[in-house]
Amino acid sequence: MLKLLKLSFLPKSPDYGLLILRVALGFSMLLLHGRGKMLNFSATAETMNGLLGLPGNVNAGLAIFAEVVCSALLIAGLFTRFAALMLAATMGVAFFVQHKSNLVAGPGSGELAMVYLIAYVTLLFTGGGKFAVDRE
């Protein structure tokens, strides 16, 4: 029974875990966040105007670069740590600046940004694993 509870019948592979984490984070960020920002650039730029003292189009461009380009890099496992750093920075701004560190459930909550931030920081420290193009 203890063996069943420990799930010891499953193979232990941090590399498979990193692959799943990279691909899941990459696709979810790219398709659920970056794609919409990219397709609606003008509206995105308006909502990000003045953030960090930069014009909205610059902020939108930086967010799209991270959420689309860096997510694609993450999926492939190419320049994984760089991509994770850019995405962590973007989620840090989203959580601390845009959502004002709000973790209370409901509209305006930064909970999802915080979850992404933690996952990207994890990949920043671990790298992409052996199933990444850059095989760290």
CA distance 29 to 60: 15
pTM of the model: 0.91
Which amino acid does the sequence have at 113?
A
| pLDDT digits 0-9 by tens, 79-126 | 999 999 999 999 999 999 999 999 988 888 999 999 999 999 999 999
pLDDT score at 8:
83
| pLDDT digits 0-9 by tens, 6-59 | 888 888 899 999 999 999 999 999 999 999 999 999 999 998 988 888 999 999
CA distance 89 to 51: 14
Write b or e for each residue in 101-120: b if 16 or more Cβ atoms lie within 10 A of its Cβ, otherwise e: ebeeeeeeebeebbebbebb
Angle between helices 14-29 and 111-126 (to 10 degrees): 140
Task: Please check the confidence at residue 136 and state whether its pLDDT lies above 70.
Answer: no
Both tokens of 79, joined, read 């320049």
CA distance 103 to 2: 36
